[in-house]
Amino acid sequence: MNQDFAVQIIQQAVTIILVVSLPTVGVGLLVGFMISLFQAVTQIQEQTLTFVPKVISVLLMFAFTSPWMISMMVDFTTTLWSTIPNMAR
């Protein structure tokens, strides 16, 4: 296993982490922006108004996308385990 191969594996892992986390982080960002806009317009400064909807939306998005996330991670892990014999050469 040379340095280029290790860098390629790390790059693939980081890419999969970013792709898998993008839907939940994006929904949290979008909901947070909409709540902040609502608070700025109505001048309501309640702490739970920002926290509860973001948590609920992120958990729902995680529940909907978890089969896809798990399949992506399992595919990467399977590919990584299958390349172990090539790493020893």
Tens digit of each residue's pLDDT (9 = 90 or more) over 20-72? 999 999 999 999 999 989 988 988 888 778 889 999 999 999 999 999 999 99
Q: Residue 56 belongs to what domain range?
A: 3-87
Whole-number Å distance between alpha carbons of 41 and 47 = 16
- Sign (positive/negative) of CA torsion 40, 43, 45, 49? negative
Whole-number Å distance between alpha carbons of 2 and 11 = 15
Q: What is the pTM of this model?
A: 0.77
Into how many domains does the chain fold? 1
CA angle 39-59-51, nearest 5°?
25
